[in-house]
Amino acid sequence: MNFEERQAEIERLRRGHREALCVPLMSEGAISPMQVGMMTDKQKGRWQRLAQERMQVESQIRLLSRPDNEIREAEQKELKKKIDGRLLQIDNMIATLSRFTGKNGKILPKYAREIEKLQNERLELTK
């Protein structure tokens, strides 16, 4: 998603959720707990629904407002985190499968093949 598309999406969110974006939040000090307590159940339910919607929309707007380089960095960090997690998982699986040995002390053939597949996957991930 490029900059113009993100800006258009932000504008669409603002237009589509005008009512929710005008709801006062306790976290901002715009409404007190006493005022909320004085609301009827119907009013309180509506306020809670709109307040929750506002927080979700504002979160989406914050995500869309980030600069391109920040988005790329976040994506790279996420990808690196996933790769590191998979590498750790592969290492653990290899260590576990290496324990299955026959009477002669060698790794059983079906486990040796699986270990080889995992090692190949590990090589692909580390490239």
- The per-residue pLDDT for range 41-58, each reduced to its tens digit, is 999 999 999 999 999 999
**pLDDT at 67 (0 to 100):** 87
Q: What is the DSSP string of the chain?
A: --HHHHHHHHHHHHHHTHHHHTS--GGGTSS-HHHHHTS-HHHHHHHHHHHHHHHHHHHHHHHHTS-HHHHHHHHHHHHHHHHHHHHHHHHHHHHHHTT-B-TTSSBPHHHHHHHHHHHHHHHHHH-
**Does pTM top 0.85 for this prediction?**
no
**pLDDT at 53 (0 to 100):** 96
Residue with the bigger pLDDT between 71 and 96: it is 96
For the cut 80, the answer to whether the pLDDT of residue 1 exceeds it is no
